[in-house]
């Protein structure tokens, strides 16, 4: 069980990062909270929405607020796997090979428009996401910790793109849609963004050590048996829903629980509540399921189906546990 001071540190860290991101993108509290929960659960984020709503800006602002190494990759059809992972080059002095690390060797990797690259290049990034290591020329090199990928892709203008298959989407802990801003938020954007770059106002509020400590605190958050049962029942409901052809994987159960622990720590709690699970279930499960043809013809979305399941699956009555002895 984490101490009260550790929980307060995590809550303050999340609040500070949230404040800095709000300087750049206002009105995105729900998306920002989901991103922060993913970061503290040491997962990977897929930002998916129409062009121009701030996906890349959100990812860059996160990198600015954290004093960690940031690598950015603009995915294009001619991008090679070695452009992501790195390559061994021959030195002219002693005729020996020297490894030149690619942009994936960073704490935060921004993968812009990941669906523009070929499946082979996508796989090079997704392998590092799963293994936290890169193998080049038969030698495995570990990636820095913490390590997280913030990828973006557009669901429109799909000509000439390579959509991520289901097995690769499953590597992302969350898929988050940014959405259009409200009228007031768009007016505020016009007032503040027309003369200066909003990213210049983002202050550094965390470093790699602080993030690593927060991640360890999140892992120690207590989860009761009813809370774990609720996660399992919710994920199993996606496999039994008549509207879904493919349900969520067991990896989804593990990652949904990790997200719930992160949300609890961000709120200063040492235990998980069912509300933590319900709040992040659409972001954690919707990209892992496939709708049936009937559901698609009825204009249903995966997010709507998962949201309905959270309302129909019974919530454990013992969701608030008695704190375990320290």
| pLDDT tens per residue across span 35-50 | 999 999 999 999 988 7
Q: Does the pLDDT value for residue 163 go beyond 50?
A: yes
Tokens of residue 250, six digits: 């067991």
Q: Residue 182's pLDDT band (boundaries 50, 70, 90)?
A: confident
Would you say residue 320 has pLDDT above 60?
Answer: no
For residue 28, with 0-12 CB atoms within 10 Å meaning exposed, 13-18 middle and 19 or more buried, which class applies? Answer: buried
Most confident of 199-203, 303-307, 314-318: 303-307
Strands 148-153 and 45-48: parallel
Segment (H or E) for 182: none
Summarize the confidence of residues 100-110 as an average pLDDT. Answer: 92
271 pLDDT above the threshold of 90: yes
Predicted confidence band of residue 158 (pLDDT cuts 50, 70, 90): low
Whether residue 326 is predicted with pLDDT greater than 60 in this model: the reply is no
Confidence of residue 187 (pLDDT cuts 50, 70, 90): confident
Residue 10 and residue 216 in contact, taking contact as beta carbons nearer than 8 Å: no
> DSSP state, 117?
S
Average pLDDT over every residue of 265-273: 94
Mean pLDDT of the chain: 88
Contact 25, 54 (CB under 8 A): yes
Q: How confident is the model at residue 292 (pLDDT cuts 50, 70, 90)?
A: very high
Cβ neighbours of residue 97 closer than 8 Å, sequence gap 6 or more: 88, 89, 90, 91, 137
Average of pLDDT values for 19-25?
86
* pLDDT tens digits along 10-21: 999 999 999 998
pLDDT at 119 over 70: yes
């Amino acid at each position: 069980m984490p101490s009260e001071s550790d929980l307060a540190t995590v809550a303050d860290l999340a609040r500070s990062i949230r404040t800095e991101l709000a300087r750049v993108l206002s009105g995105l509290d729900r998306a920002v909270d989901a991103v922060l929960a993913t970061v503290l659960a040491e997962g990977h984020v897929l930002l998916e929405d129409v062009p121009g709503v701030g996906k890349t800006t959100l990812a860059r602002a996160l990198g600015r607020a954290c004093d960690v190494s940031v690598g950015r990759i603009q995915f294009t059809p001619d991008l090679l796997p070695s452009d992501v992972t790195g390559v061994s080059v021959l030195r002219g002095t002693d005729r020996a090979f020297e490894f030149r690390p690619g942009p994936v060797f960073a704490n935060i990797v921004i993968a812009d428009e990941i669906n523009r690259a070929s499946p082979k290049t996508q796989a090079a990034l997704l392998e590092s996401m799963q293994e936290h290591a890169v193998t080049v020329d038969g030698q495995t090199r570990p990636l820095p910790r913490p390590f997280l990928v913030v990828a973006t892709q557009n669901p429109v203008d799909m000509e000439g793109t390579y959509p991520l298959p289901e097995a690769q989407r499953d590597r992302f802990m969350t898929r988050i849609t940014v959405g259009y801003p409200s009228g007031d938020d768009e007016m505020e954007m016009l007032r503040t963004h027309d003369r200066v770059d909003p990213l210049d106002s983002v202050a550094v509020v965390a470093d790699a050590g602080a993030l690593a400590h927060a991640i360890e605190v999140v892992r120690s958050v207590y989860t009761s048996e009813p809370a774990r049962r609720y996660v399992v029942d919710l994920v199993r409901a996606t496999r039994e829903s008549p509207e879904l052809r493919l349900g969520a994987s067991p990896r989804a159960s593990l990652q949904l629980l990790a997200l719930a622990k992160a949300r609890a720590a961000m709120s200063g709690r040492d235990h998980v509540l069912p509300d933590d699970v319900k709040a992040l279930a659409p972001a954690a499960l919707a990209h892992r399921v496939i709708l049936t043809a009937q559901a698609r013809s009825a204009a249903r979305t995966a997010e709507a189906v998962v949201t309905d399941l959270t309302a129909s699956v019974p919530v454990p009555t013992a969701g608030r546990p008695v704190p375990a002895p320290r």
